Structure 1
Amino acid sequence: MMKEKEYLEAYKDIEVPQDSLKQAIKVGKYRAQQKKRKSQPRIKSVVILSSVAAIILLFTSFLSPTFSQAMAQIPLIGNVYAAFNDSVGRSLQSQGLVTELHETSTQHGIGIEMNEVYYDGTIVGAVFSVTGTDSREEQIQALYEIFDGDENISESQELVHMKKDGERYIGHIQFPYPQKELPKETTFPLAFLSVGEQEGNWKFDVPIKQLPYETVKVNKSVTDEKLDMQLHIDSVIKGKASTTIEYTATFPKDEQHDFVELNASDYSGKPIEISIDHSIQRGVADGRFIVKGRSIILERLNEDDLILQPFVRLSTPDQFISLKHKLPFKIASKRQAFSVEIDKLEVHKGKVTFDYQINQGETFGRDFTFYKDFAKNDITIVEKERKDIYKAPMKHKTEVIDQGALRFRSTYEIKGDEDDYIIRVNLGSLSANIPLQLDEMKIPLK
């Protein structure tokens, strides 16, 4: 596994493709416009800057020379699922379980045809083709929307890359079925909102038929009394080419931004990748916040037992300290052993210098680079009246005082009165990256 330092070095070397950046901006702009039109905001736990970085990294991986060369060597006809790295579609295709479609929508001289679709347990996939574009590029992008942009569905609008195949482009969509019930036969509304640079509204009502699946009732729970939360594994859905773990998590009603994450392995300890994790229902009932979720493994599992290691990523609000506060002063998380203790602060000629220690020197298994980055980006001086607005940190320098003790010194340049500034400590960054581990669970698959 790549370590944090290697991630940072790789990140610095990334050249961001400009057309991909434009598409990222386009989907962000579209979502912002949709939010303005809707009165109810989408319920979603997201770190905005991290999401944008993830989008850019994803696009970069699609557009890298190595990837493009590999794609160019794969003839798309008969190999669409392999070309788009869809293991579920590839397995179902080999079993003859993919449904062929011939539905077309045309606008502005551009035709989109839905070619194939599958619905396996809780996962939906589709292949489509586009004709009539003026592009000669090897890849172009489209922005699509499912279920009419339903505010209760996470990521209801997405960008998809299409690969040139002769005179047409081939695209691929895969998403978890977002409703609580899994109907035998249904349709999902799908609309393409742009193809390349051309905006439009190519609409489909795509028919899907559920493939036979098996449901294993589980009824196992793990509880953390300190957090006052419980995780209950409800069932395991075994499709023809996928496996889904259904769970219910309950939290105190004031902790609505906590979320569960599952790691999986087989009975011998071999890791099993959980590729998709999403909530299908969220809300308050009987004074508790309840989340019903699904974790999806993109393969069918047949082992006797599945070992689950649950984690909880806790939400932690920002905390603040005045530049004139009596020192030393310790800022601590109420639910985890994370802290920042500021023991020295000086203001002189427009510069603020303060010394501090993170977690009393405890690393919790993370390397020093992680904490150096945390010190630089999450313990910052901000304008008091804009303390809740996140942007690039003010000009500053972060020095290491004692690496083994996680002691640092930060120096900031400020303009105006020191009363206009405040230190913001984002312990939530630690909570998000160092989740709380719950007891391991052994889940039967038969």
Structure 2
Amino acid sequence: MGEILSIRVILILVAFAVFVGLMVAKKLPTILALPLLGVLTAVIAGVPFMTPAEEGGQTIMSYVIGSGASRLAGTIIATIFGGMFAKVIQKQGISDAIIRKAAELAGDKPYAIAFVLTAATALIFSAIGGAGPVIMVSTIVIPLMLSAGIQPVVAAGLVLFGISTGGLFNVANYQFYVDTIGMDMDMIKSASIVMGIASVVAIVAYVLLNVKRTGGKSYWAKPAAGETKEVNVFALLAPLVPILLVFVFQFTAELSLIIAVIYTILVTNPRQIIQVASSSLVEGIQDVAGVTALMIGIGILLNGVSAEATVALMQPLIGAIMPRSAVVYVIAFTILSPLALYRGPLNSYGLGSGLANIMLAAGTMSPAAVGNALRATGVVQGVSDPTNTQNVIVADYAKVDVNAILKSTLPYTIFVTFVALVYTAVFYF
């Protein structure tokens, strides 16, 4: 019996490795790889496909696929409302106005342009996300940075740092860690603040070490001024509304986003509140359709690896290799943080979500320790990963190799990971 169990464990590990390889090689999209791996893992672990109702127990059909597909329902709702808010921000010209106001404030000084435009990017991505906004920001921010003599790879890195830092405070993302790992919302918020501070330190160091104080060679002409919407100061503050509601008033992410939508329309176009809200909801759903499908796949993977039969198989192995001290926890996950790259096992929006549940089942680390390890390594993935859509888009606009961005930013993102892990080790391990 022990030999059969060992063979099954090996087969599950091989399956994980094969699917990582297929995703890295772009032979199988993540949106299909995750649910397939969830079902395959359950099959290898011996979870029955279907059993008579009177027998009860977990099955592939009802638990892995059925319950798994709806496991992240809360996250999906928050994502839809986040997509709606993002669409309102775009439609009303707020994101574009923030960047242009920041550019006017910075003038033509390289340091000022680097800091202010990165901050503006972070503010925008605290409220929105997706490939469309990345393209919009890249078309404006990168030319402005290049015209000030900032090197293309550095400009690209700063845009990605801005996107990542803003994402730490995008409340639409928080529910994911509650649903997948069982993290406490207060812990998510406090860790976001710590990681945000560490990200600011990393950005400052990145600018000081890579940007010349005075303007040098212009790498790109300034973009021509186009027609833009006039946006009042109350509208410019719209991205901060959901953050304040969640962090200060303890509102849920979903309610905060809905209030933010209403506020934004009221201060920009109150006479067409119904039209703007309805069109933003429909278009927002379209924008997050791919992410929603990914959430369904992640849910199936989560239930596949958290099924009783799978946990019974993997618990001894995972329990034996998991960190049992705070120091080992920090060292291990800092060293292994590059495994979040290339759709690796520490990518929370890939195999990492499944691996996290196996870690939790081992019982050696709390949900806070496991979840924050993935959030911490997620900074490495969010800024430096060449397989990210946003990295490919930014690299294309900056005319640099996406792997050059990886080399340029990796030491700084590992630093942010280290700080987040130290914080978790001290207060939550």
TM-score range, shorter chain: under 0.3
- Structure ranking higher on relative contact order (CA contacts 8 Å, 6+ apart): 2
- TM-score, length-scaled by structure 1: 0.21
Higher strand share goes to which structure?
Answer: 1
Larger radius of gyration: 1
